[in-house]
Amino acid sequence: MAKHFRSKSKMNAHDTTHDLTNQAKVYAARMRLQNTIDQADALDAIREIAGNLIGTEQVAVFKVDKRRSELWLYWSFGIDPNKHVLLDVRQEPQLHPVLKGKPVFREHPGKNLLSTDEPVNAIVPILVDGAVAAVVVLFRLVTHKPALEPVDRQICEVLSNCAARAVSPQFAK
C-alpha cells in the first residue's frame, strides 16, 4: 500500500511540474508579446515564441486582403518567401474558419492544412480590434516533436489575441 501511495505521489508531483511548466510557457508568450515596443520587435517575438516555445523554425505572417479574398505574405522566417507570396482563400478551405477568428490545427500527420510543399501545423488569426487582420502560419515542427501539444494551442491563442502590434503600427508603445 505504501509503495502504491509513493508512486501515485510521484505521478502527481510530475503532473504538477508539467502543468507549471506549461503555465510558464503561456505566461512567457503573453509577456513577450505585451512588452514589445514596435512592429519589428513584435515580429521577432513571434519568431521566438514559434521557435522556443512551440517548436518550429518555419513561420510566416500573412496580411488579409478581404476585398480580394487573398492573404499576402507580410513577414517570414525559415521558409522560401517566393513559394508563399499569396494564399488564395477560395482555394484554401482551411482558411475560412481562421478568417472568422478561429485557429486551425493539423490533427493528422498525413494531412496538410494548406496546399504547400511544407507541412502546415497551425493557422492562427491575429486579431486587431476583434477583427482578423493577419494570419500566422506555423510550418514544419522540429524533428523531435511529432505534433502540437495542448500547451502549443494555448500559446497560439495568446498569439491570436496579443500579436496585433506585429501587423498594426498604431499599437506601438
Question: What is the length of the chain?
Answer: 173
Residues 6+ apart with CB under 8 A from 173: 36, 37, 38
Q: How many domains does the chain divide into? A: 1
* Residue 146, domain CATH: 3.30.450.40
CA dihedral of 83, 155, 124, 57, whole degrees rounded to 10: 0
- For residue 155, give its domain range: 2-171
Tell me the mean pLDDT in the region 115-119: 88
Tell me the mean pLDDT in the region 131-138: 96
Locate cell 488579409: which residue? 64
Closest listed residue to residue 151, CA positions, set 47, 21, 11: 21
**pLDDT tens across 86-116, in order?**
999 999 999 999 999 999 999 887 788 998 8
Instruction: Identify any residues that bridge with 104 across adjacent strands, giving them in sequence order.
Output: 123
Q: Comparing 11-25, 53-67, 82-96, 98-112, which segment has the lowest mean pLDDT?
A: 11-25
Cell matching residue 57: 523554425
